[in-house]
Chain A
Amino acid sequence: MPTVLILGAGSDIAVALARRYAAAGFTLQLAGRNPEQLRPLEQDLRIRHRIAVTVHAFDALDFTSHAGFYRALPAPPDVVLCVFGYLGSQEKGQQDWQEASRILHTNFTGAVSILNIVAEDMAARGKGTIIGISSVAGDRGRMSNYLYGSAKAGFTAYLSGLRNRLWHSGAHVMTVEPGFVATQMTGHLALPALLTAQPGEVADDIFKAAEKKKNVLYTKWFWRYIMMIIKNIPEPIFKKKKL
């Protein structure tokens, strides 16, 4: 059975993804900052789906540990899901470099650091799939979250370049751009119900799109069109809005 590595396995979207891949029979490698917190999920997946699961310590911000982490995995993964992220506080980040750098380094630098290592391995093996969870927030900077948005924009550009590179060696890269998803990250926000996806729907979309080797997935699907409109608002108008 193929193996999937989930980076940031404790998040709601990651839990839904783990269940989706487990239901399809994949072997799972769950990685997160606090492995003890992943034990219940590990048991859950084993019991529900009768599959093999391992748990690994991984911190996106501890760049120097990434190579060792990847080498120590019990098997090289066929699919790598890069799910971790940090929304943080835009307002705080404007004044406090600690917060700003945490947003940038979690969503961008940390992802680049680990995926560089994965990419080398997949390029050498000539196969594999990398799935990066970016965000529609990266499609255009807005005053309410441009620190997070710019880090995701960087991540989206990185994934695009990586896709280009790895195509030539037989591996695939998929960019995922979720719109609103009802998770812990957004629990305190009043999201419009019609535009908001449940983690399970997002996981389903991702799984199916990855099977079809899609390049860029918007989920829910209509976000592609919402973002098309948002990207096309002329800057002189856009800058005057409070978005």
Chain B
Amino acid sequence: MRKNISNWGNYPVLNCEEVSFSMEEQLTQYVNTHDHVIARGNGRCYGDASLGEHSVSTLRFDKVLAFDEENGVFECQSGLTLDQILDIIVPRGWFLPVTPGTKFITIGGAVASDVHGKNHHSEGSFSNHIVSMKVLTAKGLTECSPETEPDLFWATCGGMGLTGIITTVRFTLKKIETAYIRQKQIKARNLDEVLQLFEEHKHYTYSMAWIDCLQKGDSFGRSILIVGEHATKDQVAAKAAKAPLELPRKMKLTVPFNLPGFVLNNFTVKLFNALYYAKNTKRVIENTVPYEPFFYPLDAILHWNRGYGKDGFVQYQFVLPMDKKDGLVAILQKISEKGWGSFLAVLKTFGKQDDLISFPMEGYTLALDFPVRNGLFPFLDELDALVLQYGGRLYLTKDARMQERVFWDSYPNAERFREIVKTWNPAGKFRSAQSDRLNFQFA
């Protein structure tokens, strides 16, 4: 059925033919008879990566196929979402090897964007934990892994659906004793201090910081660093220790309709200030919390994206090499001078990663929201120029507007990626609004 759809940023809104399937045969049949096909998971990418002429929803293709509870190996169809996986694995003592800041994404989306979490510096991105997967390419269903058909494998991890439709994924899990996280929150007065703190805390499995983008002068880049480890049984309170792998169920809040932009900003300002000026003036707070608020603080408010109003927003996320701190300063300054971005940004350090087309590379990554407004895109083009100048790049899954040249100039393996995609998707059967915008020539 044709309808107007958009992803998490509510921008752009495109008229697409949306279809879904629950069995492999239905998918094969559809792909064999259609062109301009792109997979769509739960629409949590922000822009146009999963929109296209024919958007194939994987959400009904959501079966668990295998779970080796001894060794922590899990296999499922690509439309299964992380929140459902957590419901199955956590009570049995396992956790996702990597999780982004929302659990409402599919496994297919996790692979196609090669997502990273707070543990990138210590455990890499999602692709690091895949045993094997199957992809329906233009040549048919093909199994791949780092050992078999490695080209297809690496072009599919972070490949934004351009090699075809991922059908099943087998990946490894992480053993846990409890469903809780031992976390530590540390206030940093400015950017230098928070970068220093990242360095000092790099042995922690999980780390990220909320950074206040509006402060100037001495407080430029004031932040809260949050680090954590999975809690062991003896670290949780006596009551929780009785059923350490279970969490109390909570009600979810929903933002029912599009709110004017300032509401969300007010909310995050309050949240941050509450943390920053916490009653106790302690610089460091340590406590044990359920995994949900630690990993998914925003998931408690379903559809918070509507808080940016009906024109939508874009999320700007870039990464710069570790030795380009001056670039980070320059970009952050430009953002804070303009004052158009969200009040808060997420700052994180990435560990080494050097594969075909994934976003992460060793360095700093910053992500913040910009409500769509007149003049925004030219301004973001200026930021892009800085990112390029300092040897960085933008995260494709957040992108809705980058110009063609920026992509081809910033991803060092873009040409090689295109060559591989061409062998599996020679006529551009799989293509998205994003790949069209970036002028991805398949032929």
Task: State A187–B21 Cα separation when bound (angstroms).
Answer: 10
CB within 8 Å of A: which B5-37 residues: 19-20, 22-23, 25
Cβ of B60 under 8 Å from chain A: yes
Q: Which residues of A contact B77 (CB under 8 A)?
A: 40
Q: Is the CB of B1 within 8 A of A41?
A: no
User: Count of B residues near A, CB < 8 Å?
Assistant: 14
Cβ of B376 under 8 Å from chain A: no
Interface stretch (choices A43-51, A130-138, A233-241): A43-51
**B positions within 8 Å CB-CB of A:** 1, 19-20, 22-23, 25, 60, 63-67, 77, 88
Q: Which residues of B contact A40 (CB under 8 A)?
A: 23, 63, 65, 77
Q: Is the CB of B22 within 8 A of A43?
A: no
Q: Is the CB of A184 within 8 A of B66?
A: no
Cβ of A188 under 8 Å from chain B: yes
Q: Which residues of B contact A48 (CB under 8 A)?
A: 64, 88
Q: Is the CB of A44 within 8 A of B19?
A: no
Cβ of A190 under 8 Å from chain B: yes
Q: Which residues of B contact A43 (CB under 8 A)?
A: 63-66
Known contacts A187-B1, A188-B1, A189-B1; is A44 also within 8 Å of B64 by CB?
yes
> B60 contacts which of A12, A189, A190 (Cβ < 8 Å)?
A12
Q: Is the CB of B25 within 8 A of A37?
A: yes
Q: Which residue of B lies closest to A10 (CB)?
A: B23
Q: Is the CB of B63 within 8 A of A41?
A: yes
14 contacts between A and B (CB under 8 A): A12-B60, A15-B22, A37-B23, A40-B23, A40-B63, A40-B77, A43-B64, A43-B66, A44-B63, A44-B65, A47-B67, A184-B22, A189-B1, A190-B1
Known contacts A47-B88, A48-B88; is A187 also within 8 Å of B19 by CB?
yes
Known contacts A40-B77, A187-B1; is A12 also within 8 Å of B22 by CB?
yes
Q: Which residues of A contact B22 (CB under 8 A)?
A: 10, 12, 15, 184
Task: State A47–B77 Cα separation when bound (angstroms).
Answer: 13
Task: State A190–B25 Cα separation when bound (angstroms).
Answer: 24
Task: State A37–B65 Cα separation when bound (angstroms).
Answer: 13
Task: State A44–B77 Cα separation when bound (angstroms).
Answer: 10
Q: Which residue of A lies closest to B21 (CB)?
A: A184
Q: Which residues of B contact A184 (CB under 8 A)?
A: 20, 22, 60
Q: Which residue of B lies closest to A189 (CB)?
A: B1
Q: Which residues of B contact A10 (CB under 8 A)?
A: 22-23
Q: Which residues of B contact A190 (CB under 8 A)?
A: 1
Q: Is the CB of B88 within 8 A of A187?
A: no
Task: State A190–B17 Cα separation when bound (angstroms).
Answer: 12
Q: Which residues of A contact B60 (CB under 8 A)?
A: 12, 184
- A202: min CB distance to chain B, Å: 15
Q: Which residue of B lies closest to A40 (CB)?
A: B63
